[in-house]
């Protein structure tokens, strides 16, 4: 399996000691083609900072990021070309319908008209978005907007697909459909970095789990390997044993410093 993303010794600090925050502290991570890696951690664990460095929005203090063979730190434009991203916040698509927004992104990413149209129709059907496909974004629910954002990342996927909390606001039935499509993206050859709090559901789709806490990698293993090593009933129990059940900060705190 060829590595699509290789992160070594990644460090990023916001502010100066003693009041600053060490968002990432020596993070190592590898994702191969066809693999889904779940990045798990509480708010403030350093997940979003890591994602922002991968796609060239934030410069690391130390360490290296190689994406598709390119130095993503020195050549962030190549990182953005090779990565498809569903950000934590929904993309504003005011005035567009889900169908139009998905199709536009596919074309902007260089997809052919017929192929993008086929992929758009597949995603609308697979995610059960048909009833809202031609409704303007201002009139759809948060869950539909979230699924549309996922489809915009998936319609012409890059070598790496980054999904930051893709199931937020999505109802249980369509969450199941979404997990199926995430798995399909990887099975078709992309590397997928899945940032999520939904440990129990993620366990069904990820090939490997990286657990991040206060900028440190606490575990990096297959779900079965972690469950077996810790003698737990499931991945959620392992996660709670390692990092606890309390929240470290808030969503806003993570967006600002981690």
Query: What is the domain partition of the chain in residue ranges?
Result: 3-257
Which three-class secondary structure state does DSSP give residue 232?
coil
For the chain, residues with pLDDT lower than 70 are: 1, 245-258
The predicted-structure confidence for 98-145, as pLDDT tens digits, reads as follows 999 999 999 999 999 999 999 999 999 999 999 999 999 999 999 999
In contact, 178 and 123? CB cutoff 8 Å: no
pLDDT at 245: 57
Burial of 152 from C-beta contacts in 10 A (0-12 / 13-18 / 19+): buried
pLDDT of residue 32: 97
Residue closest to 4 by CA, chosen among 39, 40, 29: 29
85 Cβ neighbours under 8 A, 6+ residues apart: 51, 55, 153, 161, 162, 164
The rounded mean pLDDT for the chain is 90
Q: What is the pTM of this model?
A: 0.90
Q: Can you give the pLDDT at residue 44?
A: 84
The pLDDT of residue 254: 38
Query: What is the distance between the alpha carbons of residues 85 and 164, in angstroms, rounded to a whole number?
Result: 8
- The pLDDT score that the predictor gives to residue 16 is 85
Query: Which of the listed CATH numbers 3.40.50.300, 3.40.1160.10, 3.10.450.240, 3.10.129.10 matches domain 3-257?
Result: 3.40.50.300
pLDDT of residue 258: 43
What is the reported pLDDT for 141? Answer: 92
């Amino acid at each position: 399996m060829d590595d699509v993303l290789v992160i070594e010794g990644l460090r990023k600090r916001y502010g100066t000691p003693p009041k600053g925050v060490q968002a990432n502290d020596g993070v190592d991570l590898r994702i191969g083609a066809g693999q889904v890696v779940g990045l798990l951690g509480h708010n403030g664990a350093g997940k979003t900072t890591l994602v922002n460095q991968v796609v060239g929005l934030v410069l690391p203090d130390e360490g290296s990021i190689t994406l598709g063979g390119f130095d993503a730190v020195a050549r962030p434009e190549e990182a953005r070309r090779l990565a498809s991203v569903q950000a934590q916040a929904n993309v504003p698509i005011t005035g567009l319908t889900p169908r139009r927004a998905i199709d536009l992104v596919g074309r902007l990413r260089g997809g052919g008209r017929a192929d993008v149209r086929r992929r758009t129709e597949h995603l609308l059907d697979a995610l059960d978005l048909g009833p809202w496909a031609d409704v303007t974004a201002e009139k759809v629910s948060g869950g539909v907007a979230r699924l549309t954002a996922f489809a915009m990342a998936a319609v012409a996927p890059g070598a790496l697909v980054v999904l930051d909390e893709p199931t937020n606001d999505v109802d249980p039935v369509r969450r199941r459909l979404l997990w199926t499509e995430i798995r399909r993206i990887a099975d078709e050859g992309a590397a997928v970095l899945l940032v999520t709090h939904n440990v129990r559901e993620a366990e069904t789709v990820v090939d490997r789990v990286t657990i991040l806490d206060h900028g440190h990698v606490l575990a990096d293993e297959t779900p079965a390997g972690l469950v077996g090593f810790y003698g737990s009933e499931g991945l959620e129990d392992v996660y709670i044993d390692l990092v606890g059940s309390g929240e470290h900060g808030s969503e806003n705190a993570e967006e600002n410093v981690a």
